[in-house]
Structure 1
Amino acid sequence: MNFKIDVEMTPEELRRALGLPDVSALQQDMIDKVREQMEAGAEGYDPLTLLKPYLNNGLGSMEAFQKLMFGMMNQYGKGGRDAD
């Protein structure tokens, strides 16, 4: 027996329902400080330097996700043949 429940709520409502803190003010403060450092020309605060770790990890994460999905498809395919 399967049950499916659809719940429509905004991200803010979900955050409140899970009891997570509202960190939007902290996030905005951090963004403002980074923006100030970028405008002042501080070393290490140029856009390329700031985004480089995310770009590298993003590609690795995508590759890991693809491997995970491929492994799951292989397992599903093996299970499907055994059931026939």
Structure 2
Amino acid sequence: MKITVNVDCTPEEARAFLGLPDVQPLQSAVMQQMQDRVMSSLNAMDPETLLKTWAPLGLQNLEQIQKFFFSQFPGAGGASDKKK
């Protein structure tokens, strides 16, 4: 035996019927705070600030990475020149 019950109501009516709290004011407040944070962080999106954040040591990091990378290849001028 199969019984189907269709209930036609809005989400607000279903929440009230089931005794669930209305979270709309809380959701609105949280969304407003998120929007404020996103808008305030847009100032930090200019290229100079991003570069300073991503590469705090500037080109020194790049030079260290290059030295490490080239030292891993024999005959690349790094390790093999020292042996000769």
Give the structure with the higher percent helix: 1
Alignment TM-score, normalising by the size of structure 1: 0.47
Alignment TM-score, normalising by the size of structure 2: 0.47
Larger Rg: 2
